[in-house]
Amino acid sequence: MRFQQKLSAIQKKNNSLVCVGLDQGEFEFDKKIIEKTHDLVCAYKPNFSFYEARGETGWRDLKLTAEYLRKNYPEVVTIADAKRADIGNSNQGYVKAIFDELKFDAVTVHPYLGREAVLPFLERADKGIFVLCRTSNPGAGEFQDLKVGSAAGSGQKPLWQAVTEGVRDDWNENGNVMLVAGATYPEELKKIREVVGEMTLLVPGVGAQGGDVAKTVKAGVNSRGAGMIVNSSRGIIFADDPRTAAEKLRDEINSFR
Amino acid sequence: MRFQQKLSAIQKKNNSLVCVGLDQGEFEFDKKIIEKTHDLVCAYKPNFSFYEARGETGWRDLKLTAEYLRKNYPEVVTIADAKRADIGNSNQGYVKAIFDELKFDAVTVHPYLGREAVLPFLERADKGIFVLCRTSNPGAGEFQDLKVGSAAGSGQKPLWQAVTEGVRDDWNENGNVMLVAGATYPEELKKIREVVGEMTLLVPGVGAQGGDVAKTVKAGVNSRGAGMIVNSSRGIIFADDPRTAAEKLRDEINSFR
């Protein structure tokens, strides 16, 4: 099944746009979070950094988490938050690890090297590729806000918008490419939504990072009140009661769709 | 010892700017290449993608290669070609894995998220941080060549130059930040050299990717005929005789310094 179909099905079934960011890097921890939240979310997004911190043991845990999800909750989407991008065939190892060995449904990638560099990801038509566009960190604007034009002319729009338009027009031949746009920048999120039409956006930054749920949802949903995956990591996994936190976020998001 | 000191010492001792890219992802293979070339090079650069392709086994091999180098050839620089960058503290896992567990001397990172995002790397003053600036792939220009200005004004210079200047002016408080500039774009390499003064550049793309050694060295060396790490991967590791290939590249580079 293609990524978009799987995502739409689980978003409908669980009536949820919530993605839980697995930012602890331990299978036993992940398992508890998953057991408490799987019917309230559309996706889980392990951030590879936390697993790699523990080397080969961490990789084993990452694989256990991916397998556990696939075996027990195969309808729920899995996003490898690996933020990779190498050039050309040097990506093949990442592609193999993430899609063939760990069997994730989707991955996050950096745009800086261009479409031609990350073709080995884009060519996996059954998988979802989320391109970092407007990130949620305070200093995101250093390069992303630079005004740019074509290679020939002077600039009129921010770099993040050029990435948005480039991905929309040139990267998405297989209909599997989407964007990452931080909830901490609702105005940019709104503009990205205008530029991409119905495309799905992965939106981190609500909760601990300070993104406002109402503003985020109003800015980010597409014409069908969907087209978003709203990620919360620390706000759910480190909550006293992760289930209640996930449910609260799901319901809050739904109230603004 | 700080990265730059270690690099200068080994470049002098082995009279070499050559870095061998370890793009096979197997310790036993790496060991053979290292045994044949260690006195002809200044650095080894394992590309993480090839190791990750084999999951936890690959990570074990990566660790074995890093340990083997550290134990047997501690003077030779090791560069983790991991092309990472997450936001803020989410980088800590990568930092820990690459610098504390695997004990690499340096790492490659993406610039798109800005300085503030990758501070956990930059703050490691003893380590080398290579920021992707002008990459060697054919499609590198898609975003890197866009003309940019300040966040306020229209653009006059390519994005790669804005990255070059930003890194020079704002990222390098600890004197440990350097740039990646592909040998396949000698004109851009020359301009980057002009902008950064004496800063060390990591230059991939000679050999299999088509970069011309004479043009690369003339464009890339600093005022002391150094300031470069010239990487070759396939051209050395898959040569019939890797030692001869490394020696030939070293001597060819030196003839143009």
Give tens-digit pLDDT for A75-88. 999 999 999 999 99
Q: Is residue B83 among the annotated active site residues?
A: yes
**Distance from the first to the final alpha carbon of chain A:** 26
Instruction: Please give the pLDDT value at position A153.
Output: 53
Furthest C-alpha separation in chain A: 54
- Interatomic CA distance for residues B63 and B238, integer angstroms: 22
Of B51, B84, B148, the CB nearest to A148: B148
Residues in chain A within 8 Å Cβ distance of B118: none
Of A93, A115, A152, the CB nearest to B25: A93
Please indicate, yes or no, if residue A160 is contained in any of the structural domains.
Answer: no
pLDDT by residue (tens digit) across A138-162? Answer: 999 999 999 987 555 555 899 999 9
B251, HSE (Cβ side, Cα atoms, 13 Å): 6
Minimal Cα–Cα distance from B153 to chain A, Å? 7
Please indicate, yes or no, if residue A183 is contained in any of the structural domains.
Answer: yes
Q: How buried is B16 (Cβ within 10 angstroms: 0-12 exposed, 13-18 middle, 19+ buried)?
A: buried
Residue A58's CB is within 10 A of a number of other CB atoms, namely 23
Percent of chain A whose predicted confidence (pLDDT) is above 90? 94
Reported as type and span, the H/E element at residue B138 is none
Helix A55-72 and helix B55-72, axial crossing angle in degrees, nearest 10:
170
CB distance A136 to A220 below 8 Å: no
CA-CA-CA-CA dihedral for B148, B153, B154, B160, to nearest 10: -10
Residues in chain B predicted with pLDDT less than 70, given as ranges, are 150-155
H helix count then E strand count, chain B: 12, 10
- Write the DSSP string, A220-256: H--TTS--EEEEESHHHHTSSSHHHHHHHHHHHHHHH
Please indicate, yes or no, if residue A113 is contained in any of the structural domains.
Answer: yes
- Is the pLDDT reported for residue A119 higher than 90? yes
Q: Which of B22, B24, B52 to mutate to test the interface with A (most CBs of A within 10 A)?
A: B52
Residues in chain A within 8 Å Cβ distance of B112: 110-112, 132, 135, 143-144
Instruction: Please give the pLDDT value at position B209.
Output: 85
Domain of B171 in residue numbering reads as 3-256
Instruction: Please give the pLDDT value at position B156.
Output: 84
CB distance A98 to A45 below 8 Å: no
**Total domains, chain B:** 1
Instruction: Please give the pLDDT value at position B150.
Output: 58
Residues in chain A within 8 Å Cβ distance of B23: 90
Instruction: Please give the pLDDT value at position A150.
Output: 58
pTM: 0.97
Please indicate, yes or no, if residue A206 is contained in any of the structural domains.
Answer: yes
Whichever domain contains B221, its CATH number is 3.20.20.70
pLDDT band at A202 (very low <50, low <70, confident <90, very high): very high
Of A94, A138, A152, the CB nearest to B49: A94
pLDDT, mean of residues A177-183: 98
Minimal Cα–Cα distance from B9 to chain A, Å? 30
Instruction: Please give the pLDDT value at position A151.
Output: 53
Q: Looking at the annotation, which residues of A are catalytic? A: 83
Catalytic residue among B32, B63, B83, B218: B83
Residue B27's CB is within 10 A of a number of other CB atoms, namely 23
- Is the pLDDT reported for residue A208 higher than 90? no
Instruction: Please give the pLDDT value at position B84.
Output: 98
Give the residue carrying structure tokens 């889980």. Answer: A44
Minimal Cα–Cα distance from A199 to chain B, Å? 21
Please indicate, yes or no, if residue A168 is contained in any of the structural domains.
Answer: no
Reported as type and span, the H/E element at residue A61 is helix A55-72
